[in-house]
Amino acid sequence: MSKIERVEVELVDIPAAYPFRWRDGLPGSEPALRGGVLKITTSDGVVGRAETPRGVIAADLVERRVRDELIGQDPLHREWLWHRIWELDRIEEFPLYFLGLVDIALWDIAGQVAGLPVHALIGTYRTSIPAYASTVTYDSVEEYFDVADQCLERGFGAIKLHAWGDVRRDAELATRLRAHVGDDVDLMYDGSAGFDLPDAVRLGRVLGDLGFRWYEEPMREFNLTSHRWLSERVDIPLLVGETSDGAHFNIADFIHSGSATYVRTSAALKGGLTGALRIAHLAESFQLRAEIHGMGIPNQHLCMAVPNTTYYEALVWGNPIITDPSVGPDGLITAGTGPGLS
């Protein structure tokens, strides 16, 4: 029987990204980072991998808390090990981006052992999905027009705005962009938690009138009551739970509060693929959609396996635009065919 034999974080240099910014009050693109690749090696020589931009932190946590828990364990006991990571979280309060790293690497191992892509191991629902262009923050309405035109020419059929975090400016942008692209292009808005309840209501009513598909993270996700009040005051569907801690437990509270039409799930912030799937299935049981947050290969596999999701999120930055090269000229992401997370 195969056992986990080695657990390590290989530090890698991530070059500085093309400079961009987020809404007012938030820092934008980062300088060069010391990233990392978690590698879990089995006694059969199979290596599962999971990448993180926070390599130094991941290496410290693996060294102090995680390695001894994994050595000698069966790498296919993902469920048990997923619960062990959450148990250790009680002591360490792991960052959200660390909680799923072990799980992602273990899914990679399982796919390689089975000789299947991970989405097939989960159960493939589709083999391609449209991507939406998720913008960074630009300087003017006119530049958003230019970027939107490039996105449409690139094959995207939907665009999500990260704007300035100013109700008046963002409402004007949304109104003018809808007129610019017409009614056949899906538009979404991401507030990056920039508003309080009164401003979130004010902007949400504008977005609802414009037929935006969803209104994402308008407020900090600490208070469920404020989200319920917001949902009662606007017509646009809310997309909630992107950065809230607690994976499916916390998402269950958002759903119970009545504030969710869409919920966020992802491999990166919800405890890996195992946690992300829990959220997707929970949402499906309430006839809600689970939209997958962020780019990357693990999320591409999730998109192929989760029936109640709409799009793959592809960040768009720069002008001329730069985006995820996995998005084809037809605006689609297609399923990987190699074993594991490839």
pTM of the model: 0.97
Instruction: Count Cβ atoms below 10 Å from residue 170 Cβ, excluding itself.
Output: 24
Q: Can you give the pLDDT at residue 17?
A: 84
Cβ–Cβ under 8 Å, residues 142 and 90 = no
Q: Can you give the pLDDT at residue 243?
A: 94
CA–CA separation, 237 and 225 (whole Å): 16
Q: Can you give the pLDDT at residue 111?
A: 98
Q: Are strands 186-190 and 4-14 parallel, antiparallel or unpaired?
A: unpaired
Q: Can you give the pLDDT at residue 78?
A: 98
Q: Can you give the pLDDT at residue 280?
A: 98
Using only C-alpha atoms, the chain has a radius of gyration, in whole angstroms, of 20
Q: Can you give the pLDDT at residue 1?
A: 85
**If the chain, 342 residues long, is cut into consecutive pieces of 10 residues, what is the mean pLDDT of each piece?**
97 93 95 96 98 98 98 98 97 96 98 98 98 98 98 98 98 98 98 98 98 98 97 98 93 97 97 98 98 98 98 98 97 97 95
Q: Can you give the pLDDT at residue 105?
A: 99
* Type and span of the H or E element at 251: helix 247-257
Residue 212: both structure tokens together: 């935006």
Give, in order, the Cα–Cα distances in Å from 196 to each of 26, 152, 248: 16, 32, 25
Query: Please, which residues bridge with residue 314 across strands?
Result: 133
Q: Can you give the pLDDT at residue 104?
A: 98
